Structure 1
Amino acid sequence: MDIRFDRYLKALAANYRDGGTEHTGRAALENFLNTFAVDAMAPGIEVQHEPKRDADKGSPDFKVKRQGMILGYVEVKEIGANLDKILKSDQIVKYRKLSDNIVVTDYFHFIRIDGAGKILDRQSLAFPNDIESRTIQVNPDKAEAVSKLLAAFFSSPPQGLQRAQQLAVALATRSKLLRDYLTEELVRQTKVHKEGRLHGLYDVFREQVFHELTVTEFADAFAQMLAYGLFLAKLNASDDEIIRLDNVRRFIPGSFRLIRELVRFLEEMQETEYDEAKWVVDEILSIVNGLAIANIREDLSFRQRKAISRKIRAGDEEEHRLFERDPFIYFYEDFLRAYDKETRKARGVYYTPPPVVNFIVRAVDDILKNQFQIADGLADHKKVTVLDFAAGTGTFLLEVMQRIFDNIGGPETGKADAVVREHMLKNLYGFEYLIAPYTIAHLKLSQYLQGQRPSADRK
């Protein structure tokens, strides 16, 4: 007989001998689940018990993770609960949007479902009155059936996303949850005290970006920034590097105050007041850690986008370079379409294809040189000022920077540091109404400049 089941039922009997709630048997269930995690085919599986939260906004009771990615959830209800009714609850519907691998249990009955709500397996180990006897007997057939259900749960691979559209939906779904939690916490800090990091960030944004910014608008934008910032952090890390809250600082450029505050807030999310939101951030970390980066990069490539249907293809090596340059800067459009389609439409968040951006920037540079007799074109720091009044995620500004470096002979010349310091940082401007793309533009532009400057000048 499998000794794990005997120990589990005896532990439940001891815990519930004098009554109890749905939380009374959590320790016994956690130990029981951990035995299956140890025996699972894949190494490095971790069963993480989440603390008790409000019923309407809590996280799953147990998260099962493998190598930084969430493998599935276990939701626990009180003994004797109607699990079929629970499966139809808003709570489970919410969890199904996040995972295809969920187990719902009342300690004795186990039901495994997928993201569509389909019941993959259901088994009963025992009934509550079975543990009232002094001699607990484990039915071997029932134990074997539950063992197979849990083995299937633990052997299910984490969901590693390979398509851009899947990624956009996954990030958007979790960003909406994060927005709701941040709004509640910000309202609480506003009423109770204003010294919290989140409220401090709100003040920074109102001071530096948009003076009339509301709490709701900030929470909405900041949720997008957090999700997208973690995505960019993964892009900056090596393929096998696992992004965590305690190491994310290494992968997000901190070259201006808003980004520094963003990184500091991610580190502070370990504090108890952010427990309600932290599990959603863990979800986002799971998504980005599980990305098939090569597949995502290929899928985001302009070779795969709708331009193909209009027969717009790279005609030569130079144009191919334009199509392939940093496609992730355009991913924000896909993300916002999944997150808030109406905002995307109302604010005009649509990418300009790289060859068009390149053509416009080259044309302006040529006009400066030929018509205005400015020999250095866009690189002239005394006569040229650039303003992108709808900067989005920085596409045009990035191309202008590239053109400036081209005009001075490349970033490795002796002129590069002076051009960055005296021209790019002083004479290139971008306005953007939406805070998330505004911040993403800063991330991408600062990352680009750090990559182009000589190594001795990087800070």
Structure 2
Amino acid sequence: MTTVDYLSALNSRYRLGNATEHTFRGDLQNLLESLAPGISATNEPKRQACGAPDYILTNKKEIPVGYIEAKDIGDSDLHGVKKNGNKEQFDRYKGSLDNLIFTDYLEFVYFRNGELATSVRIGVIDQGRILPLPHNFPAFELLIKEFTTHIGQTIKSSKKLAEMMAGKARLLANVIQAALESDEINQDNSTLQEQMNAFKEILIHDITPKQFSDVYAQTIAYGMFAARLYDSSLDTFSRQEAAELIPKSNPFLRKLFQYIAGYDLDQRITWIVDALADIFRAADVDAILKNFGKSTKMEDPIIHFYEDFLTQYDPKLRKQRGVWYTPHPVVNFIIRAVDEILVTEFGLQMGLADTSKTKIKVPSPRTTNDSREACGKSSRKCIGYSS
């Protein structure tokens, strides 16, 4: 199909007067696959109902290379600026997908890494019909070629990796929650629903779909990060490989990833998990770890990178859970101070290593107040009473 054929097909359907944004999806799919040989443009309604873009473009290796969200012909808000429009969806996609096009089938607005790259219009509506703009065809076809050959940039900083991981994790949580709510309404028994029920039975009996989606998305994103740190093959990382790389010292995570790597993973979230793998495949792990924590004395990136990740994923959640990194010098001071108090004040000769028991005399309220007064009048160091 050529661009001329595509606009002719659109015009025929549009002039019937009863077309919706879904009417033209097959035409755009045919055009994309014609202009970009070797690329498949997948359009799955079940996926879209849970928050996926209308088209996911994949190459011959079935690796996603780009995403397209289609609106109805004539939609004037392809930049997502109207508060009463689709701004929330636009912001979510732009923050999560680094190679993205919004279109009304006539205008194509291209965003790369969340920033507007270019836009081109190939047709206009005039008196109830679609008129081609042939002078824009070459620019449009070049845009599609660039869009479908996009290669993600190499990620060399922990901050950039945290931002991109968090974007995909937020999108994943949103899709999981929508899928669970859809299954509940339609009384479908999906693998996601089964996992949530098992989670309720074993861990948190009153967990909500939103809370479960949060936990699930973060576990997948962070588990893949942990796996990538153990990966020596820089260009072959996938969710299947992640399942093999998760350390045996974490049996819970290994078991979860054995499920993620299998055929039973819900198709509504498979594309996002694979997109996460794309991010880690583009991450220069050696460069990220080389300078990790030099200024803050962070020694274990698997543990301490979570603070950076959660800051990007949900700052309120980070504050709520108290996820703050304590530098090693501070931790060492606290440990030494507690150890000394156990020896000098409590008579435990081995300090923190002492397993024996001791008795302490708890002062009466009157004694405590008198002691506090004495502390205030004396220059001596007072230990043992807290306000």
The two structures have a TM-score, normalised by structure 2, of 0.68
1:350 equivalent to 2:324? Answer yes
Residues 409-445 of structure 1, C-alpha deviations (whole Å, 9 max, x = no match)? xxxxxxxxxxxxxxxxxxxxxxxxxxxxxxxxxxxxx
For residue 95 of structure 1, what is the aligned residue in structure 2?
Answer: 93
Distance 1:188 1:30, change over 3 A: closer
1:148 equivalent to 2:122? Answer no
For residue 4 of structure 1, what is the aligned residue in structure 2?
Answer: 2
For residue 52 of structure 1, what is the aligned residue in structure 2?
Answer: 45
Aligned Cα root-mean-square deviation (Å): 4.6
Of 270, 274, 277, which aligns to 2:269? 277
More helix by share: 1
Residues 114-165 of structure 1, C-alpha deviations (whole Å, 9 max, x = no match)? 5556462322256589999xxxx97653322322333343454324432212
Please tell me whether the aligned partners of residues 298 and 304 of structure 2 are also in contact (alpha carbons under 8 angstroms).
Answer: no
Query: How far did residue 86 of structure 1 move?
Result: 5.9
Of 275, 289, 292, which aligns to 1:297? 289
Please tell me whether the aligned partners of residues 158 and 290 of structure 1 are also in contact (alpha carbons under 8 angstroms).
Answer: yes
2:311 partner amino acid: R
Quote the Cα distance in structure 2 between the aligned partners of 1:131 and 1:190: 42
Distance 1:346 1:143, change over 3 A: closer
Q: Superposed, which structure 2 residues align to 1:46-445 within 5 Å?
A: 46-53=39-46, 57-65=50-58, 70-84=64-78, 88=82, 89-90=86-87, 91-114=89-112, 118=116, 120-125=118-123, 141-186=135-180, 196-206=190-200, 208-210=202-204, 213-253=207-247, 258-267=252-261, 274-299=266-291, 301-303=292-294, 305=295, 307=296, 325-354=299-328
Quote the Cα distance in structure 1 between the aligned partners of 2:205 and 2:282: 38
Please tell me whether the aligned partners of residues 60 and 74 of structure 1 are also in contact (alpha carbons under 8 angstroms).
Answer: yes
Distance 1:210 1:58, change over 3 A: closer
Q: Helix, strand or coil for the counterpart of 1:302? A: coil
Quote the Cα distance in structure 1 between the aligned partners of 2:20 and 2:332: 64
Query: How far did residue 56 of structure 1 move?
Result: 7.4
Quote the Cα distance in structure 1 between the aligned partners of 2:69 and 2:184: 33
1:349 partner amino acid: V
Please tell me whether the aligned partners of residues 37 and 46 of structure 1 are also in contact (alpha carbons under 8 angstroms).
Answer: yes
Residues 148-201 of structure 1, C-alpha deviations (whole Å, 9 max, x = no match)? 333343454324432212222222233233223333444566687797543444
Please tell me whether the aligned partners of residues 50 and 178 of structure 2 are also in contact (alpha carbons under 8 angstroms).
Answer: no
Query: How far did residue 228 of structure 1 move?
Result: 0.8
Quote the Cα distance in structure 2 between the aligned partners of 1:123 and 1:115: 21
Q: Helix, strand or coil for the counterpart of 2:120? A: strand
2:22 partner amino acid: H
Query: How far did residue 259 of structure 1 move?
Result: 2.5
Q: Helix, strand or coil for the counterpart of 1:97? A: helix
Please tell me whether the aligned partners of residues 223 and 253 of structure 2 are also in contact (alpha carbons under 8 angstroms).
Answer: no
Please tell me whether the aligned partners of residues 2 and 31 of structure 2 are also in contact (alpha carbons under 8 angstroms).
Answer: yes
Residues 263-306 of structure 1, C-alpha deviations (whole Å, 9 max, x = no match)? 244246755xx44434433432332222122232234x121x3x
Structure with max Cα Rg? 2
Please tell me whether the aligned partners of residues 170 and 313 of structure 2 are also in contact (alpha carbons under 8 angstroms).
Answer: yes
Please tell me whether the aligned partners of residues 302 and 324 of structure 1 are also in contact (alpha carbons under 8 angstroms).
Answer: yes
2:229 partner amino acid: L
2:321 partner amino acid: R
Query: How far did residue 22 of structure 1 move?
Result: 2.6
| 5+ residue gaps, structure 2 | 343-348, 357-387
For residue 426 of structure 1, what is the aligned residue in structure 2?
Answer: none
Please tell me whether the aligned partners of residues 74 and 102 of structure 1 are also in contact (alpha carbons under 8 angstroms).
Answer: yes
Distance 1:182 1:140, change over 3 A: closer
For residue 313 of structure 1, what is the aligned residue in structure 2?
Answer: none
2:283 partner amino acid: L
1:296 partner amino acid: I
Query: How far did residue 15 of structure 1 move?
Result: 6.7
Q: Helix, strand or coil for the counterpart of 2:96? A: coil
Please tell me whether the aligned partners of residues 50 and 59 of structure 1 are also in contact (alpha carbons under 8 angstroms).
Answer: no
Residues 210-236 of structure 1, C-alpha deviations (whole Å, 9 max, x = no match)? 556555433322221111112222223
Please tell me whether the aligned partners of residues 101 and 115 of structure 1 are also in contact (alpha carbons under 8 angstroms).
Answer: yes
Please tell me whether the aligned partners of residues 101 and 153 of structure 1 are also in contact (alpha carbons under 8 angstroms).
Answer: yes
Query: How far did residue 349 of structure 1 move?
Result: 1.8
Quote the Cα distance in structure 2 between the aligned partners of 1:190 and 1:8: 39
For residue 431 of structure 1, what is the aligned residue in structure 2?
Answer: none
Please tell me whether the aligned partners of residues 70 and 158 of structure 1 are also in contact (alpha carbons under 8 angstroms).
Answer: no
| 5+ residue gaps, structure 1 | 39-44, 308-322, 385-459
Please tell me whether the aligned partners of residues 194 and 200 of structure 1 are also in contact (alpha carbons under 8 angstroms).
Answer: no
Q: Helix, strand or coil for the counterpart of 1:291? A: coil
Quote the Cα distance in structure 2 between the aligned partners of 1:348 and 1:281: 27
Q: Helix, strand or coil for the counterpart of 1:73? A: strand
Aligned residue pairs total 345
Quote the Cα distance in structure 1 between the aligned partners of 2:30 and 2:189: 40
Aligned residues with identical type, % of pairs: 29
